[in-house]
Amino acid sequence: MGILERAGIPIPPPMPPIAVQASAKIDLRKVGKNIYELITHPGRRSFKQRVRRRTVELKPDKLYTPSEVAALLNVSYDTAVHRMQRMKGCVDMGTPTKRYKRGKKLLRISGKHLVAYLRGKTRH
Over residues 64-83, the pLDDT tens digits come to: 999 899 888 888 888 999 99
Confidence of residue 110 (pLDDT cuts 50, 70, 90): very high
Residue 36 has pLDDT above 70, yes or no: no
CB proximity list for 55: less than 8 A, separation 6 or greater: 71
Residue 31 amino acid letter? V
Average pLDDT over residues 45-51: 67
Q: What is the pTM of this model?
A: 0.57
Please give the distance of CA 115 from its chain centroid, rounded to a whole number. 25
Domain locations in the chain as residue ranges: 52-121
Question: Residue 82's pLDDT is what?
Answer: 93
